[in-house]
Amino acid sequence: MIQPFRPAPTNHRHANRVARAESALWVSLILAIAVALPSRQADAQPPSAQPPAAESTSAVTANGRPVDDRLAAAFEIPDAFREPPAEYRSPLIFDDGSRVRSAADWQRRREEIRETWQRLMGPWPEPVADPRLEVLDSTRRENFTQHRIRLQWTPQESTLGYLLVPDGPQPLPAAITVYYEPESAIGLGAELRDFALQLTRRGLVTLSLGTTEATEAKTYGLYHPSLDAATVQPLSMLAYAAGTARRALAARPEVDGERIGILGHSFGGKWAMFASCLDDGFACAAWSDPGIVFQEDRPSINYWEPWYLGYHPQPWRPRGLISESNPARGLYPELVAAGRDLHELHALMAPRPFLVSGGSEDPVSRWAPLSHTVAVNRLLGFDHRVAMTNRPDHSPNDESNEAIYAFFEHFLKGQSADSPAPKSR
For 140, the enclosing helix (H) or strand (E) is: strand 134-141
Supply the pLDDT for residue 286: 98
Say what the pLDDT of residue 26 is.
45
Helices in 261-366 by DSSP H: which ranges?
267-278, 331-337, 343-346
DSSP state of 99: B
Q: How far apart are CA 4 and CA 102, in angstroms?
A: 24
Query: Where is 136: in which H helix or E strand?
Result: strand 134-141
Residues of the chain with CATH 3.40.50.1820: 126-270
What confidence score (pLDDT) does residue 70 get?
77
pTM (2 d.p.):
0.85
Tell me which H or E stretch contains 333: helix 331-337
Burial of 143 (0-12, 13-18, 19+ CB in 10 A): exposed
As a whole number, mean pLDDT of residues 75-104 equals 95
Q: Is the pLDDT of residue 41 over 90?
A: no
pLDDT band at 132; cut points 50, 70, 90: very high
Q: What would the mean pLDDT of 375-385 be, rounded to a whole number?
A: 96
Which range scores top for mean pLDDT: 3-7, 68-72, 102-106? 102-106
Helix (H) or strand (E) holding 210: strand 205-210
Banded model confidence at residue 321, pLDDT cuts 50, 70, 90: very high
The residue among 273, 211, 209 whose CA lies nearest residue 246 is 209
* Structure confidence at residue 60 as a pLDDT band (50, 70, 90): low
Q: How sure is the predictor about 414, in pLDDT bands with cuts at 50, 70 and 90?
A: confident
The Cα 354–Cα 286 span in angstroms is: 6
Name the region of 352 (left: φ>0; alpha: ψ -120 to 50; beta: rest).
Answer: beta
**pLDDT at residue 209 in the model:** 98
Instruction: Give me the chain's average pLDDT, please.
Output: 87
Model pLDDT for residues 268-285, shown as the tens digit of each residue: 999 999 999 999 999 999
Compute the average pLDDT of residues 79-93.
93
Q: What's residue 287's pLDDT?
A: 99
pLDDT over threshold 90, residue 69: no
- pLDDT at position 17 over 60: no
CA 294, CA 84: separation in Å to the nearest integer? 17
Whole-angstrom distance, CA of residue 311 vs CA of residue 389: 32
Q: Which amino acid is residue 415, in one-letter code? A: Q
The CATH classification of domain 126-270, taken from the options 2.40.160.20, 3.40.718.10, 3.40.50.1820, 3.20.20.100: 3.40.50.1820
Question: To the nearest whole percent, how much of the chain has pLDDT over 90?
Answer: 79
Confidence label for 378 from pLDDT (cuts 50, 70 and 90): very high
Q: What is the pLDDT of residues 188-226, one digit of tens each?
A: 998 899 999 999 999 999 999 999 999 999 999 999 999
All residues at 6 or more sequence positions from 225 whose CB lies less than 8 Å from its CB, including other chains: 125, 155, 156, 231
CA atoms lying within 13 Å on the CB side of residue 75? 26
Q: Between these two residues, 46 and 287, which has the higher pLDDT value?
A: 287
In the chain, how many H helices and how many E strands?
Answer: 10, 11
Q: Are 260 and 281 in contact (CB under 8 A)?
A: yes
